């Protein structure tokens, strides 16, 4: 059992490293096996396809990430603006280190949203994580009359995630390279909270 556990962990670590560096399409199963120090047959024994391995890793990444985001939602010690800063910063950092997250997230949300969220938050209702949070209470205290807090959440997610989803198109249209794009994403860590707070005012 210990050997099985070690082999599986080596596979996951190698796959995560290669998926992060090269992306899903450019990563080959034989490269994963070689980096993990095992043969291809053993890799196929644990994971029948690259897709299954990728989904397993991304589910674990998303589960840890969502828990860290909801811990920000619940924190009573931070102001609303500080929460927006932390959320934007964590989203941007996580996606920069896992560039396949946006496409994975979009595919899962299109094909099986309920199953996806049940897995990443361990069977609990997503509504419970959102409705009963300090973040929602603070938005309610700050918002202008008649503004639904859900607008704030949609704008926060859109401003954070869409640049990564639309990156290929933006690079073709504007001619910016990766260095400029990454610099702009760092700038957005400060700009996004400012824009959201301005919306509330």
| Residues 6+ away with beta carbon under 8 Å from 156 | 84, 87, 88, 192, 196
Alpha-carbon torsion (5, 64, 92, 190), positive or negative: negative
- Report the phi/psi class of residue 123: left, alpha or beta, with left for phi > 0 and alpha for psi in -120 to 50: left
Assign 5 a pLDDT band (cuts: 50, 70, 90).
low
Q: Could you give the CA distance from residue 97 to residue 92 in angstroms, rounded to a whole number?
A: 9
Number of domains into which the chain is organized = 2
First vs last C-alpha separation in the chain: 58
Same domain, yes or no: 13 and 84 = no
Please write the tens of the pLDDT for every residue from 168-197. 899 999 999 999 999 999 999 999 999 998
Give the ranges where 75-177 is alpha helix by DSSP (H): 80-97, 101-111, 113-120, 126-131, 134-142, 149-165, 167-174
Q: Which three-class secondary structure state does DSSP give residue 38?
A: coil
Among 8-17, 64-73, 175-184, which is the least confidently predicted range? 64-73
Token representation of residue 87? 């959320």
- Report the phi/psi class of residue 30: left, alpha or beta, with left for phi > 0 and alpha for psi in -120 to 50: alpha
Same domain, yes or no: 20 and 87 = no
Q: Among 48, 69, 87, identify where a domain stops.
A: 48
Does 20 have pLDDT greater than 70?
Answer: yes
To which residue do tokens 């047959």 refer? 41
Does 29 have pLDDT greater than 60?
Answer: yes
- Please report the pLDDT score of residue 82 as a whole number: 92
Range of the domain at 36: 1-48
Q: Could you give the CA distance from residue 105 to residue 65 in angstroms, rounded to a whole number?
A: 12
- Please report the pLDDT score of residue 125 as a whole number: 56
Distances (CA, A) of 89 to 65, 79, 152, 159, 176: 12, 15, 16, 12, 22
The domain that holds 154 is classified in CATH as: 1.10.357
Task: Give me the percent of the chain exceeding a pLDDT of 90.
Answer: 26
Does 84 have pLDDT greater than 60?
Answer: yes
Same domain, yes or no: 107 and 160 = yes
Higher pLDDT, 72 or 126: 72
- Report the phi/psi class of residue 175: left, alpha or beta, with left for phi > 0 and alpha for psi in -120 to 50: left
Q: Could you give the CA distance from residue 129 to residue 30 in angstroms, rounded to a whole number?
A: 40
Please write the tens of the pLDDT for every residue from 128-141. 555 556 777 777 77
Same domain, yes or no: 38 and 106 = no
- For the question of whether the overall pTM of this predicted structure is more than 0.85, the answer is no
The domain that holds 12 is classified in CATH as: 1.10.10.60
Does 80 have pLDDT greater than 80?
Answer: yes
């Amino acid at each position: 059992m210990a050997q099985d556990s070690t082999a599986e962990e080596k596979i996951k670590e190698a796959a995560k490293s290669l998926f992060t560096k090269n992306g899903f399409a450019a990563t080959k199963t034989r490269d994963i096996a070689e980096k993990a120090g095992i043969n291809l047959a053993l890799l196929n024994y644990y994971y029948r396809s690259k897709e299954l391995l990728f989904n397993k890793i991304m589910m674990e990444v998303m589960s840890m990430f969502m828990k860290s985001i909801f811990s920000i939602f619940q924190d009573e010690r931070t102001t609303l603006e500080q929460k927006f800063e932390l959320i934007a910063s964590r989203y941007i950092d996580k996606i920069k280190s896992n560039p396949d997250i946006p496409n994975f997230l979009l595919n899962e949300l299109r094909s099986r949203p309920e199953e996806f969220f049940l897995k990443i938050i361990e069977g609990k209702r997503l509504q419970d994580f959102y409705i009963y949070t300090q973040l929602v209470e603070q938005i309610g205290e700050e918002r202008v009359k008649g503004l639904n807090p859900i607008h704030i959440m949609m704008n926060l997610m859109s401003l954070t995630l869409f640049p990564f989803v639309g990156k290929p198109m933006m690079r073709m249209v504007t001619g910016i390279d990766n260095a400029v794009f990454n610099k702009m994403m760092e700038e957005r860590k400060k700009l996004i909270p400012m824009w959201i707070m301005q919306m509330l005012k």
